[in-house]
Structure 1
Amino acid sequence: MQVIHEGREPAGPGSFDRPDLGVADPGPVFGRLFDAHARSMHRYLARRIGDESAHDLVGETFLVALRRRDSYQPELGTARSWLYGIATNLLRHHVRSETRALRATARLARVGDRNTAGHDSRVAEQVDAQTRAAQLAGALAKLSVADRDTLLLVAWAGLEPTEVAEALGVPPGTIRSRLHRLRRWLRANAAETTNNEEAIDL
Structure 2
Amino acid sequence: MSSPGEAGDDAEIIAAALRHPERFAALFDRHAAHIHRYLARRLGGQVADALTGETFLIAFDRRDRYDPAFPGARPWLYGIATNLAGQRRRAEQREYRLRAALGPPSDHDSHADRVAERVSAQALTGPLAAALAGLAPRDRDVLLLIAWEGLAYDEVAAALAIPVGTVRSRLNRARKKVRAALAPAPAEEVSNHG
TM bucket (normalised to shorter chain) is 0.7 to 0.9
Q: Given that residues 13 and 26 in structure 2 are in contact (C-alpha distance below 8 angstroms), is that contact kept between their aligned partners in structure 1?
A: no
Q: Tell me the residue number matched to 2:144.
A: 152
Equivalent of residue 172 in structure 1, options 164, 171, 177? 164
Q: Please give the alpha-carbon distance, in whole angstroms, between the structure 2 residues aligned to 1:142 and 1:77.
A: 36
Does the residue aligned with 2:69 lie in a helix, a strand or coil? helix
User: What is the aligned-residue identity percentage?
Assistant: 52
Q: Please give the alpha-carbon distance, in whole angstroms, between the structure 2 residues aligned to 1:168 and 1:59.
A: 19
Mean CA deviation greater in 172-181 or 139-148? 172-181
Alignment of 1:16-31 (within 5 A): 16-19=9-12, 21-23=14-16, 24-28=19-23, 30-31=24-25
Q: Tell me the residue number matched to 1:10.
A: none
Q: Tell me the residue number matched to 1:83.
A: 77
Structure 1 stretches lacking a partner, 5+ long:
1-14, 110-121, 193-202
The CA deviation at 1:77 is 7.5
Q: How many residues align?
A: 167
Alignment of 1:47-196 (within 5 A): 47-75=41-69, 78-106=72-100, 126-190=118-182
What whole-Å deviation, never above 9, does each CA across 1:36-75 have from its counterpart, x for those lacking one? 1111211111111101110111111111111111111133
Structure 2 stretches lacking a partner, 5+ long:
1-7, 104-113, 185-194
Distance change (3 Å), C-alpha of 1:126 and 1:182: closer
Distance change (3 Å), C-alpha of 1:77 and 1:145: farther
Q: Please give the alpha-carbon distance, in whole angstroms, between the structure 2 residues aligned to 1:102 and 1:50.
A: 10
Q: Given that residues 107 and 134 in structure 1 are in contact (C-alpha distance below 8 angstroms), is that contact kept between their aligned partners in structure 2?
A: yes
Distance change (3 Å), C-alpha of 1:77 and 1:16: closer
Q: Given that residues 42 and 58 in structure 1 are in contact (C-alpha distance below 8 angstroms), is that contact kept between their aligned partners in structure 2?
A: yes
Q: Please give the alpha-carbon distance, in whole angstroms, between the structure 2 residues aligned to 1:178 and 1:125.
A: 30
What whole-Å deviation, never above 9, does each CA across 1:92-123 have from its counterpart, x for those lacking one? 121111111213334569xxxxxxxxxxxx86
User: Cα RMSD (Å) of the superposition?
Assistant: 2.8
Q: Given that residues 131 and 178 in structure 2 are in contact (C-alpha distance below 8 angstroms), is that contact kept between their aligned partners in structure 1?
A: no
What whole-Å deviation, never above 9, does each CA across 1:114-152 have from its counterpart, x for those lacking one? xxxxxxxx8686344334222211110110110110000
Q: Please give the alpha-carbon distance, in whole angstroms, between the structure 2 residues aligned to 1:31 and 1:50.
A: 24
Q: Please give the alpha-carbon distance, in whole angstroms, between the structure 2 residues aligned to 1:77 and 1:142.
A: 36
Equivalent of residue 35 in structure 1, options 29, 47, 54? 29
